[in-house]
Structure formats: structure tokens, C-alpha cells
Amino acid sequence: MIVLRAKNIAFDVTYIDLRNKPDWFLAISPHGKVPVLQVGGSAEEGGQALFESNAIAEFLEDAEQPHLHPEDLLQRARNRAWTDFVPTFAGGLSALYYASSEDGREERFAAARQRLGKLEAALAERENPGPYFNGPELSLVDAAYAPFLQRFRHVDRWLQSGLLQEFEQVSRWADALGASDVVSGSVPENFFAEFNGNMQRRGFLVGRLMAENPEVSAG
């Protein structure tokens, strides 16, 4: 969604209830996961479905201007390498809030710090002043990390881990992504209410904190 918005491509969106996936969705999503991009109309109209966010992003990059990958081939490869780190990074952050109790807290924090540290080093050694990964324009790396940083900034209002603040470059990057309309408008209005409901329903510690203090202020 972020890439579609960054490239100003017209699209329709259908949200899927992941607890009750419709058959038509399962037919086009081999792993039963979102996102799926349906290109060129529905299957009956001869359209094609694409799955896996990176594959979708790279397809959109090849198909539509403006280009979000840098021109320089080495930089482009480095960007792709950092995009490959997203699942590891996201797993480290989400483990902090997919936790039902304080047990294992130290290990979770250590794992998250290790991953944040790698990203901090990557941001520190890039040769541009930001605010995004490659400079003033949003790139595919930004699009790949933004949802996870956006969710973490949200839950950390309750978790109060203070972890992002330990990593100055990541923290500034997360703030810049949070301030981007392309990123903030990529989720529906009720997204964070649904997200909080999910945390509470699944009995996570952060869900209990949300229930106790629903009005905790932003940032």
C-alpha cells in the first residue's frame, strides 16, 4: 500500500478478515497471507494475482514511475539486502508485544536491541542526511520497514520500552516515517483500534495495559 501511494497509483483495497478468510482470497493467496495485489482486473477478467510484499513492491517498481530504488546499482543491491533483514527485524520488535507475561523479558529486549543496533549501524554508514533511508525521497527500504516501525511506535506508548530512543538514527527514521502522509494514510482509520482489540483478545501483556489505560497519549 505504501508503494502504491508513493507512486500515486490508483487502486481499490479490500480488507481481509484474517480470522475468517474468504474462499476467493484463499484461491489467490498461496500462503493465505496478505498482502495480495490483483493486477489487471479480477481473475475472471484475466487479471493476475501477486503475493509477497517484496515481490509486489519490486513489480510496482519495475512497472511504474517514480522509481523508488536508487540509480546506483551497488546502493540498490544494498537496499535489497536491508529489505531482506525486515522479517528478522520485525520478529525482534513484535516479540516484545506478542508476549503474555514478563517471563523472558530480558531475552526479548536483548534480541530487539541486537536487531535495532544493526539497523542503527546501517543508517549511520549511509552517505546521506536522511530523513529516509536513501535521503529526502521515500525508497523501497522505507516502505518495507515503515509498517513495523509504525506499529512499534504505537504499542510502545503502552509498553514504554524506551528501546527506540536508545538508537538515535533509527528513532529519527521512525519519526520521519511516522510523519509521512504516504505511511500514515496506508492504514485504515480503524487500524489501531482493531490492533489494540487484537492485542487484548489474544491476552498479551500489552493488551492488558491498553485495557487499563486506553487513552494513553501519542508519542
Ligand X SMILES: N[C@@H](CCC(=O)N[C@@H](CS)C(=O)NCC(=O)O)C(=O)O
- In angstroms, the CA 186 to CA 7 distance is 13
Q: How far is the CB of 185 from ligand X (least distance, A)?
A: 18
Q: Looking only at residues 31 through 60 of this chain, which bind ligand X when binding is defined by CB under 6 A? A: 32-35, 52-53
Name the residue nearer to ligand X (CB basis): 33 or 80.
33
Q: How far is the CB of 39 from ligand X (least distance, A)?
A: 16
For residue 218, the one-letter residue type is: A
- Say if residues 25 and 82 touch (Cβ distance below 8 Å): no
Name the residue nearer to ligand X (CB basis): 35 or 197.
35
Name the residue nearer to ligand X (CB basis): 21 or 113.
21
Name the residue nearer to ligand X (CB basis): 6 or 126.
6
Q: How far is the CB of 163 from ligand X (least distance, A)?
A: 21
Displacement of CA 80 from its chain's centroid (Å): 15
How many chain residues bind ligand X (CB under 6 A)?
7
Listed residue (125, 169, 184, 174) closest to 2, CA to CA: 184
Q: What binding mask, one character per residue, do residues 15-34 give for ligand X by CB under 6 A, x or -? A: ---x-------------xxx
Grid cell 478478515 is found at 17
State the Cα torsion 57-29-33-186 to the nearest 10°: 40
| Nearest-CB residue for ligand X | 33
Q: Prior bond to 188 cis, omega within 30?
A: no
- Binding residues for ligand X, rule: CB under 6 A, are 18, 32-35, 52-53
